[in-house]
Amino acid sequence: MRVLTLLVIALGLAASHAEPQHSAVYPAPRTDAGWKDRAKLLDDRLKEAPETELLFIGDSITAGWEGGGKEVWASRYGPRKAVNLGIGGDRTQHVLWRLQHAPLDGVKPKAAVVMIGTNNSNGEDNTPGQIADGVVAIVRTLREKLPNTKILLLAIFPRGENFNAQRGKIAQVNQVIQKLDDGRNVFFLDIGHRFLDSTGLLPAEIMPDYLHLTAKGYQIWADAIEPRLNELLGGK
């Protein structure tokens, strides 16, 4: 009986130190045709851009650089041969799967801008801790796949017109993932406050649906990250 008890305790301790197992960290593709087509398009972009200096990785907010943000993208990131790896609706688990299967061995970007997790925050889908685990897994995967690439990790942007529970959930995630900043390879930057007015309101002229950005919103994003991004790209 004593041997059995010790075995149970040992297994319990091993489990407590194991990698977290939940949806946010379990790499998974999506099954819809639109996602598959977009994922293939992004893989093709990587194959066709071996000289890219910059990657943007995320969900629909990142994908929107091809929509509301296309003019800012053309002027700011076109010359840097940037590649947009955003897919609308993606969660941390989907980005993890994409990074594990993407043709990253053919590129050597100087920097990658990462902003992901807002879709995991919907309802009771994932807890703040689980979302943070997902972001940590993405950063770890990028470090493994692209060890010479500096990561500019952005805090998840605020959402919702006014103060709300989801903003609080996102803020808790941001408090954790900022610890990933090591001052050498990973750099955390929170620019969310730049989208809000002095009362905490999220103006419709910046996010008309209080989630996705307008051209003005993308200009704010680009201006806010430029000083740090310029450093990571070696002053280019």
Active site residues: 60, 209, 212
Pick from 76, 134, 133, 111: nearest CA to 187 = 111
Q: Which amino acid is at 198?
A: S
Instruction: For the chain, state the CA radius of gyration.
Output: 19
Length of the chain: 236
What are φ and ψ of residue 150, in 5° steps?
-80, 140
> CA-CA distances (angstroms) from residue 196 to 116, 185, 191?
19, 29, 10
Tokens 């010790």 -> residue: 6
Count the Cβ atoms, other than its own, within 10 Å of residue 43: 16
User: What are the CB-based long-range contacts (under 8 Å, 24+) for 5-12?
Assistant: none
d(C-alpha 27, C-alpha 21), whole Å: 11
d(C-alpha 119, C-alpha 112), whole Å: 20
Pick from 202, 204, 199: nearest CA to 214 = 204
Q: Yes or no: say if 107 and 50 are a contact pair by the CB < 8 Å rule.
A: yes
